[in-house]
């Protein structure tokens, strides 16, 4: 009886290990899941921005956290040129042109990560450099956190 239980447990452990290894070896599936999640969060944010949904600070925090986390994970999933084909169940694929500009794509993902505030500052001060010292005031006023967005929305709705 004990041998049977040990044998079943061993087979289950091996099957679990193999399925986990196979899941890690499918970068297309993983990157599609990450991009889909980012798209869902972007839709929620877009609906709040357009006024189609009320502003929700908890949802805004989740949007920022999801984008930051997924932007950090995604570059590793684009490490090799693995093309996927659309199917009836999943019509979405990565644009093949992405592989021609993979470094640019990865840099854009990085700009969504944990250094997004510094990148926003650099971009805004460069973009508004024609205004002189005022460029720094513009950059300092950028909404770089869910709380700043909530405070700004509240100021305009009161």
Q: Is the pLDDT of residue 8 over 60?
A: no
Distance between CA 35 and CA 144 in Å, rounded? 22
131-146 per-position pLDDT tens digit: 998 989 988 888 777 7
Distance between CA 36 and CA 69 in Å, rounded? 13
DSSP structure string for 77-143:
HTSS-------SS------GGGGGGHHHHHHHHHTTSTTHHHHHHHHHHHHTGGGTTHHHHHHHTS-
For residues 63 and 36, state if they share a domain.
yes
Q: Which CATH number goes with the domain that contains 51? A: 1.20.120.10
For residues 56 and 102, state if they share a domain.
yes
**pTM (2 decimals)?**
0.58
For residues 42 and 105, state if they share a domain.
yes
Q: How many domains does the chain have?
A: 2
Q: What is the mean pLDDT of the chain?
A: 78
Averaged pLDDT for residues 96-108 = 85
For residues 74 and 145, state if they share a domain.
no
Phi, psi angle pair for 5, to nearest 5°: -60, -45
pLDDT of residue 127: 92
Higher pLDDT, 23 or 80: 80
Q: Is the pLDDT of residue 22 over 60?
A: no
pLDDT of residue 55: 85
For residues 87 and 120, state if they share a domain.
no
According to DSSP, residue 51 is labeled T
pLDDT of residue 110: 79
pLDDT of residue 6: 44
For residues 90 and 122, state if they share a domain.
no
What percentage of the chain exceeds 70 in pLDDT? 83
Query: 5 in helix, strand or coil?
Result: helix
Q: Does any domain span residue 7?
A: no
| Residue-number span of the structural domain to which 130 is assigned | 115-158
26-41 per-position pLDDT tens digit: 888 898 899 899 999 9
pLDDT of residue 142: 81
Q: Is 51 exposed, middle or buried (0-12, 13-18, 19+ CB in 10 A)?
A: exposed
Q: Does any domain span residue 143?
A: yes
For residues 95 and 129, state if they share a domain.
no
């Amino acid at each position: 009886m004990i041998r049977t239980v040990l044998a079943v447990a061993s087979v289950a452990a091996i099957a679990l290990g193999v399925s986990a290894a196979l899941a890690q070896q499918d970068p297309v599936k993983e990157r599609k899941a990450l991009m889909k999640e980012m798209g869902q969060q972007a839709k929620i944010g877009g609906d709040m921005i357009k006024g189609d949904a009320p502003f929700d600070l908890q949802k805004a925090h989740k949007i920022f956290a999801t984008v930051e986390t997924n932007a950090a994970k995604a570059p590793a999933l684009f490490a090799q040129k693995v093309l996927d084909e659309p199917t009836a169940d999943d019509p979405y694929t990565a644009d093949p042109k992405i592989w021609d500009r993979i470094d640019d794509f990865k840099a854009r993902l990085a700009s969504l990560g944990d250094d997004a505030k510094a990148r926003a500052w650099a971009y805004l001060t460069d973009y508004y450099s024609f205004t002189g010292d005022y460029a720094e005031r513009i950059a300092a006023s950028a909404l770089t956190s869910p709380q700043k967005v909530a405070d700004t929305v509240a100021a305009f709705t009161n």
